[in-house]
Chain A
Amino acid sequence: MWRYLAPLAAFLVLAGFLYVGLGLNPREVPSPLVDKPAPAFELAKLAQPDQTFSRDDMKGKVWMLNVWASWCTACREEHPLLVDIARQGTVPIVGLNYKDKPEAAKQWLAQWGDPYKLSVQDPVGRTGIEYGVYGVPETFVIDKNGVIRFKQIGPITPKVWQEKMLPLIRQLEQA
């Protein structure tokens, strides 16, 4: 009996592992930055390049840092959602314009709408490295103390926004 059941059991275990593996997304690399202080930056504003904006300017507020670029096609995908969020005034969104040309970036915002409180320029991607960015768009939810509480890699989907990000932001604002 055992000699027939053993291979079957082994097969089922293997099949179970493979089945779970199918559902995992290898692109979703857990960020070590969640629950760590957001890396400091002080960068030129996209609209007024002679002025800078830093992480600490958002101290005391719950906010989102959205990494975007005019060359990024997936950014277009999530853009309507960001515009919606901005219109409802749910949470301030700061744009990190990643490895982009300011002219192209401004034109992109003029064409598709500007959901950002403001955008800052990261022309060589140095701040992107500090934030562990490897796939634009990426979005960070940062709490009042400047701690990263959530990271979305790739476009924010309405589902992720409704089920994860919005409840988290509400909760953080209570704190």
Chain B
Amino acid sequence: MKRFLLVLMLAAGPALVAANQAAPTDLDPVANKRAVELSQQLRCLVCQNQTIADSHAELAVDLKNQINEQIRAGRSDREIIDFMVQRYGDFVLYKPPFKAETVLLWVGPVALLVLGMGAYFLQLRRRRTRIDERPLSEAERLEADRLLGLGKTEDSSK
């Protein structure tokens, strides 16, 4: 167990270090924090499943430099994000915006959940009414008693 934990910690180490890593810059700590936060919101288009903060692809490095440059030029976060979207499209955003083309993406899972829950409860209710629907006939009641060992049938006397 101890060894397993050690392995786990060793495996997690690089990820923890990498997460806070950014290209060395001459930005002050506050601006640098902004640069890192921005780069975590943007997708690396070369690797697609990484943010540009996590990626070492050349384009990601260029875009990080671009962010630093624009921060230095006094642009706001909004302006920098817009700059990227204008050139690379919504796809560059790790969190896609809510609009007509992305409604299914955002609402889909919730809609499926609601649909599924609805179907489930409907099914439950239907099952209950089905069970409650009809009282047992005399023969069925005796059979049930016999199976439960309650009835005074010839079997139970043995």
- Interfacial residues, chain A to chain B (CB-CB below 8 A): 26-27, 29-33, 99, 124-125, 128-132, 134-135
Q: Would you call A32 and B66 a contact (CB within 8 A)? A: no
Q: Would you call A134 and B89 a contact (CB within 8 A)? A: no
Q: Would you call B59 and A134 a contact (CB within 8 A)? A: yes
Q: Would you call A129 and B62 a contact (CB within 8 A)? A: yes
Q: Would you call A124 and B62 a contact (CB within 8 A)? A: yes
Q: Would you call A29 and B89 a contact (CB within 8 A)? A: yes
Say what secondary structure dominates the interface of chain B: helix
Residues on A with C-beta less than 8 A from B88 are 29, 32, 132, 134
- Decide yes or no: A32 and B87 within 8 Å by CB, A134-B45, A134-B46, A135-B46 being known contacts: yes
Say what secondary structure dominates the interface of chain A: loop
Q: How far is the CA of A129 from the CA of B60 in the complex (A)?
A: 11
Residues on A with C-beta less than 8 A from B46 are 134-135
Jot down 16 A-B pairs with beta carbons below 8 A, ordered by A: A29-B89, A30-B91, A32-B85, A32-B86, A32-B87, A32-B90, A124-B62, A125-B58, A129-B62, A130-B87, A131-B87, A132-B87, A134-B45, A134-B46, A134-B88, A135-B46
Q: How far is the CA of A31 from the CA of B66 in the complex (A)?
A: 19
Size class of B's contact patch? 10 to 19
**Of A31, A33, A125, most B-chain CB atoms within 10 Å:** A125
- Decide yes or no: A31 and B62 within 8 Å by CB, A134-B46, A135-B46 being known contacts: no
Nearest B residue (CB) for A29 = B91
- Decide yes or no: A31 and B89 within 8 Å by CB, A99-B58, A134-B45, A135-B46 being known contacts: yes
Give chain B nearest CB distance to A83 CB in angstroms.
Answer: 27
In the complex, B81 has a CB within 8 A of chain A = no
Q: How far is the CA of A128 from the CA of B66 in the complex (A)?
A: 12
Give chain B nearest CB distance to A47 CB in angstroms.
Answer: 25
In the complex, B80 has a CB within 8 A of chain A = no
Give chain A nearest CB distance to B63 CB in angstroms.
Answer: 7
Residues on B with C-beta less than 8 A from A31 are 89
